[in-house]
Structures are given as structure tokens and as C-alpha cells.
Structure 1
Amino acid sequence: MDSFPAYFPLAGRKVVIAGSGDGADNKARLFEGSPATVVRIDGHAAFLPGAYAGAVLAFIASEDEVFIQAAAAAARAARVLVNVVDKPALCDFNTPAVIDRGEVVAAVGTGGASPVLATLLRNDIEAQVPEGAGRVAALLRRFQDEVRKTLPAMHERRSFLRDAATGEAAQAAMSGDMETAGRLFREALAKGSARRGRVRFIAGKGPSDLLTLRAVRALSAADALVFDPDVDPQILTMARRDVERITPHEATAERLIQLASEGRQVVRLITAPVEPALVQALTAADVAVEVLLSAPAN
């Protein structure tokens, strides 16, 4: 990862755009509809550090090299991060191609190497992000504190939110009926997390592109991950970085049964055949077991 992506909250924040022309106008359009206060400056005003005071970001656009250098120096003197349009070497950060769905924002960046490629990839991803996704995020934000209070255990909360993000409340929010969405969400929260714990065995030898979609989703939803030393590293990247990792030595039948009884979703990545005795012990304890093999290669 050559560049670290980060999101800057814009509510109550100031963004300065120095310069004029298409480059400056394009940057200004990025913030249309956002809660940021956009301040546009030009000429000698752009050379004064005070013009950037309190800003979170500064964008500079000009064909005049002297203007760029002076404006960038003034912004940095005010301790503001600077982006100079079409000059990656002078930037503290690069502007990605953005997919804007309100509270859901996705971005594709190439570190300034190829904005055209970033835009092409953005167009592909944009088609997969529904217009109402931002309303679903707003719904989840609205009940964030209530969910934490009702479901203090992380794995229970995560399990509930996974279901809620695609459930009836989310569908109502997606269609724009936020009143119904709120009612349905409260009803679901009152029932709590009823997801049953499960242990899934997934072929981990690779290559990763042979994994089924079901296996990929199981990896991304796992609360606990057990994997053999020779598992394909690319498959490991499909799990959340904060997933609890358990060594094969620790992953006894008793430990897996305990995790499942707590409602945890456990993934066991294997590079050898599943041990029948382990599966028998799990099923005897009424633990749901699923074996997900790789898709056949073409």
C-alpha cells in the first residue's frame, strides 16, 4: 500500500481553494452538497497564511508556477495539508476518484500516478453502490449508541449489524422511508442478535480466485479465524484485519464449541482434509458446520 486512504470529517470544517480556472472549479465541485465551508481565494490573498487559518485542506490550482509555490508555502505555514492540481510531487495528499452516496463515500486512488485509471475503476465500482446506501448509513448512525448499549458484546453487535444492514429496516431506508426504517430497526434491536454460531471449513491452499463467493463472504464475516501455516497469504487478506486469530493448536473442539455457543462465526482455513473426529465433535455439540470447497479451475 503506497498511500494510506483517510477520510476527513467536513461538518463545521473549512476548505480553501486557491487559484482559478477549470482545476479550481473542479475541486470546488467535489464539495457541493457537503457540510464544509468552501473559501475561494485568488491573487495576493492566496499568499497570506491567515487566509488558510483553521482550514483542514487546501487546494491550489494555477498555471503560474510562482503562484503555486507562494500559495503552497502560505498554506503550509498555516499548518494545512496541500493539494496542488496536476502536480503530485508538490502534494501532501492526492485527490481520489470519489463515489458520493452521502454518508457512504468510496474512493479510488492511484497516488497521483493515473487519475484516468482511478476514474475508470470508480465508474465500475459506482454501479455496485446503490443510491440509497447513504440513507442506510444514516440509519445505522442514528441508532449507534442504542446498539452499543443494547448489545455490549462486540461479536453480538457485529452479528446484529450485519443482518440489519441488509434487513427490512435497511430496505425501507434504501427506498427513502426513514420513518418506517427507524421503527423496523427498533423492533429488530429489541429482539437482539439471534444469529447462531457456526464453524466453516474453507479450503485455504489457494489460489484465492478459486474461492466461491460464499466462502469469501464467510471470511469477511468471521469473528474468529484459524488457519494452517501454509495457507495462501492472499486468502488471509480477505478476512478483516481485526478478526481474532487462533492457532491450530489452540483450536480444539472444546474451544470451537465454546466460540459457536457464544454466537461467533468461526472460519477454519485448511490445507489438508477436514478431520472427521473434529466435525463429529462439533455436530454432536449441535454446532452448525459448513464445508466450503474451492470452485473448480477452468
Structure 2
Amino acid sequence: MRSARMRQFPAFFNMDDARVVVFGGGEEARRKVRLLAKTPAQITVIIGKDIDPGFAEEFAGRITIAPQSEAGPALDIARFAIVACRIDENTERSITWARQYGVPLNVVDRPELCDFTVPSILDRGEIVAAVASGGSAPVLAKSVRAKLEGLLPARIGDLAELAGRMRDEVKERLPNAGERRQFWESVLNGKAAELAYAGEIEAAEQAMRDALNGRRAQGVVHLVGAGPGDPELLTLKALRLLQEADIVYFDRLVSDEILTLIRRDADRVPVGKSKGDHSVPQEEIHEMLIRSARDGKRVVRLKGGDPFIFGRGGEEMEAVLAAGVEAFVVPGISSALGCAAQAGVPLTHRDHAQSLTFVTGHAKSGGVPDLDWESLAKPNQTVTVFMGVGTAAAITDKLIEAGRAPDTPVAVIENGTRRDEIQVFGILAELPDLITDNGIKGPALLIIGKVAGLPFASGTIAQANPVQQETFA
């Protein structure tokens, strides 16, 4: 049963002008010094007879190495001490000295002797998080820290530093504590934050000042790649934005598993398209994104695969920026990469494919696109076709007519990386039949080239992938 009391009280030492003592000259001591060297503290390393090769050189100019005879004077002015000796006799002696001087003490791998433990630390500059287990399970604490690292933006420390610089000014302009809290909650979760995370610190500061001057904050638009469908292939940044968004406009190709990751109280607006069904015209999508951002909302445009690979992300980015709204792109794993990897098909191979071409199988006006078929028919390359199910027969004819061998291996992957995924394999001349016989409607990816016939691909005959379907069932 979980105790209602905290056995440890978390606190942070201020390391400005601090002096710290580390006992030991081996690898454990070196690891602690590496951690301490990230702070401005003055570090004294007390050693016995030996010190590991390279120890002094690694921290040249950052540490003072002293013999045991100088431990007393060092401890007398120390903020805390760490004992990391290799020899038990030296460990006991160091503990005795530290106790005599009343210095807070940490003894490596001896939690029962510690006044404090060194937690697993997440360092983002001004933002520091620490995870501790009281010394009982340090590996578990590191695992928790790793999960936190995935959730926190890399530049969150820059945002904290900016807030720190403006703290006094905000306090002067907003003397009421409630108003200040509302201000900080707004700017640290809005446009200023997103600009800081993107590295645009000057623009982030201006956004904070605009908010402080009472100007209505305009939101931002993020074009986010959802990947091919498997939620575990979503990027960490994409996951964070889904959990922060006020409104999400999503495509038909985005999987239900990924949609469940959106913040519960966010608005969800489907704007998907399918062949012959553009229920929401592209221009209207542009207007919706711009309007929501101007209303001050954090907007995510969630697109299957990658926004900039046959995802109309370029058109949407152009429209949003032209309207004076900030926009950012979060790349996703393209369906070409995700589906091929799932099927065991390497898109390039030194022996079989020295080039890779992505093409669309569907022209903007409908029908077969006007492509350079002679170039696509050249051997030793992989041609990956998006949106090519409906035009597969024409694509096959044009490639063979241009000189591509009829027995060129092909793979067709429908709903790649998802529970209802189907993979079929065959040759180019059979491509239309592969699609028809297996009931493939799309979305599907066509992979044409020798790599589709390699023995470590999921199959070499034209059949659905029952193993994969059974695995996901």
C-alpha cells in the first residue's frame, strides 16, 4: 500500500558561488564531476593515491585536485559533498570527515548513508526536472526521465529564460496577481511559446510584449504529419502538439488510433478527401485554418504521412503565410517509408536500386498524370507511386511501353502499418490484377522495382498478408 508521506523532500541547490567536494578518483567520481561541471560551482576533488588516467585532463580548468590532507578546509566551505571512492577504507574516512563538518552528504550506491540522493536529471537550461527513487531503483528513475524528455520541447529552457527577463516588467504592469497568472498562462501556452520553441526568440519576445500591451494574440498553425497510421510512428513533437491544440483539422487518411491522442476538449474537424469526393474544397480549408488562428486558437492541420509529400502542405503553408499567420511544419514519416519498412522492402539497395523516385498516380485534373515515363522505365531504380490504385492499369501500360521489363517485381500495400493492412507482391505485368483480385481500394502504395522481389520482403507471390492480419487481430 502506498505511503501517504514523502520519504524524500525534493529541493534544488543554488549553485552560484557554491563550492562542492567530491571524494574519489575513479569512474564513479568522474561521472559525478561531469554532472557538477555543468553548473557554475567550484569543484574540489579529494583523492587518495591514485586517479584514473585522463580524469584531470577532462576537467582541466574546472576542478581542483587535492590530497586527503586538505579535505578539512575544503569541507569547511562546501555546500555539499559526494563520496565516490573505490576503496572501502577511503569511503569510511570521507564519511567521517563530512559528518564532522556537518556537510550534506551523498554516498554513491549507499542510500542508507545519504543525507540526499542525486536524482536522474532532465536539463533544459532554465527548466530542470529531477526524478528520484530514494536510491531504491535508479534505473527506473532514468526510465521516467527519458519519458519526460520526450514530452518536453527542446527549447523550453529558452522560453523560461525569456519569461525570466520579462518577469519584473510584467509584475510592474500587472500588479494584480490574478491578472499576472492569466497573462503567463496565455503567453506560455500560445504564440510566444511556439515561436520560442521554433528558435525565434526575438519574435517570441515581441509576441509577449504585444500580449502585455493588450493586443489580441493571434494563434499559429502547425501542419503536422501523422505518419502512415501506426500511432507509435508519430513524432514526439506531433504528439505534443496534438495534446496542446485547441482545434484539429484532420484528413481521411489519419488513423483512429492517432485521433484518440488529441486533447479531449479540442475541437476536431474532418476535412478529408477521397477520389472524386472533395467534400471540403481546398480553398475552404485554407480559410478555416486562417480564421481559427485569427481567433487566437492553437491550430493543428493533421495530415496523413508527411505534409510536404503529396499532402498539399505546400499549398496550405503558402495560403496561411500569405494571410499573415505564423505557420510551422512538423514532418511525419511518409507512407512510402513506413509501408516499405513494414513490408521489408528497402527502397534503395546498392545492387538493385541506386535511385528512388516518388510520383503521384493521380493528376490534379483527374486521370493519369503526365510523367516522364521513359525516365521512370530505366532499370536499377525504385518507383514509388502514391494514389495509383485507380490508374494502375494505365501506369503499367505506360511503363512497359517505355521499356520497363514486364517481370519487374512490384508490391502493393494498402493501409500500411495499420491493423487492416494488406500486402501483395507480384510482377509489373500483373499489377492491375493484383489490385483487383485482392480487393484493394486504397489508400495504397505501389512499389515498382527489383527491391520488391528481395527475399526478405514479406512475400514474393501475389497474396494478402494473412500473418500480418492475424497479428493485428
Is the aligned partner of 1:26 residue 2:18?
Answer: no
Per the TM alignment, residue 3 of structure 1 is displaced from its structure 2 partner at its CA by 0.9
Is the aligned partner of 1:93 residue 2:116?
Answer: yes
Per the TM alignment, residue 4 of structure 1 is displaced from its structure 2 partner at its CA by 0.9
**What is the rounded CA distance, in whole Å, between the counterparts of 2:97 and 2:196 in structure 1?**
45
Is the aligned partner of 1:64 residue 2:69?
Answer: no
Per the TM alignment, residue 76 of structure 1 is displaced from its structure 2 partner at its CA by 3.1
Per the TM alignment, residue 47 of structure 1 is displaced from its structure 2 partner at its CA by 6.7
Q: What is the one-letter code of the residue matched to 1:59?
A: I
Q: Which residue of 2 is the match for residue 35 of structure 1? A: 40
Per the TM alignment, residue 62 of structure 1 is displaced from its structure 2 partner at its CA by 1.2
Deviating above 6 A after TM superposition, structure 1's stretches of 4 or more consecutive aligned residues are: none
Q: Which residue of 2 is the match for residue 150 of structure 1? A: 173
**What is the rounded CA distance, in whole Å, between the counterparts of 1:25 and 1:163 in structure 2?**
43
**What is the rounded CA distance, in whole Å, between the counterparts of 2:181 and 2:18 in structure 1?**
31
The answer to whether the Cα contact below 8 Å between 2:26 and 2:86 also exists between their aligned partners in 1 is no
Per the TM alignment, residue 102 of structure 1 is displaced from its structure 2 partner at its CA by 0.8
Structure 1 residues 47 and 68: CA distance shift in structure 2, 3 A: farther
Deviations 1:62-85 (A, max 9, x none): 132221122122223333211011
- The structure whose RCO (Cα within 8 Å, separation 6+) is larger is 1
Is the aligned partner of 1:2 residue 2:25?
Answer: no
**What is the rounded CA distance, in whole Å, between the counterparts of 2:78 and 2:94 in structure 1?**
14
Structure 2, gaps ≥5 residues long: 1-5, 49-66, 218-261, 266-473
Per the TM alignment, residue 50 of structure 1 is displaced from its structure 2 partner at its CA by 1.0
Q: Which residues in structure 2 correspond to 1:43-54 (within 5 Å)?
A: 43=48, 44-45=67-68, 48-54=71-77
Structure 1 residues 175 and 14: CA distance shift in structure 2, 3 A: farther
Three-state SS of the structure 2 residue aligned to 1:191 is: coil
The answer to whether the Cα contact below 8 Å between 1:99 and 1:126 also exists between their aligned partners in 2 is yes
Structure 1, gaps ≥5 residues long: 195-211, 216-298
Three-state SS of the structure 1 residue aligned to 2:79 is: strand
Give TM-score, length-normalised by structure 1: 0.61
Q: Which residues in structure 2 correspond to 1:223-242 (within 5 Å)?
A: none
Three-state SS of the structure 1 residue aligned to 2:33 is: helix
Q: Which residue of 1 is the match for residue 159 of structure 2? A: 136
**What is the rounded CA distance, in whole Å, between the counterparts of 1:29 and 1:173 in structure 2?**
29
Three-state SS of the structure 2 residue aligned to 1:169 is: helix
Is the aligned partner of 1:17 residue 2:40?
Answer: no
**What is the rounded CA distance, in whole Å, between the counterparts of 2:78 and 2:69 in structure 1?**
13
Deviations 1:220-265 (A, max 9, x none): xxxxxxxxxxxxxxxxxxxxxxxxxxxxxxxxxxxxxxxxxxxxxx
Q: Which residue of 2 is the match for residue 191 of structure 1? A: 214
The answer to whether the Cα contact below 8 Å between 1:47 and 1:71 also exists between their aligned partners in 2 is no
Give TM-score, length-normalised by structure 2: 0.39
Structure 1 residues 74 and 214: CA distance shift in structure 2, 3 A: farther
Q: Which residue of 1 is the match for residue 197 of structure 2? A: 174
Structure 1 residues 23 and 121: CA distance shift in structure 2, 3 A: same
Structure 1 residues 123 and 46: CA distance shift in structure 2, 3 A: farther
Deviations 1:168-193 (A, max 9, x none): 22222223332222222222112289
**What is the rounded CA distance, in whole Å, between the counterparts of 1:37 and 1:190 in structure 2?**
43
Three-state SS of the structure 2 residue aligned to 1:143 is: helix
The answer to whether the Cα contact below 8 Å between 1:47 and 1:70 also exists between their aligned partners in 2 is no
Per the TM alignment, residue 99 of structure 1 is displaced from its structure 2 partner at its CA by 0.6
How many residues end up aligned between the 2 structures?
198
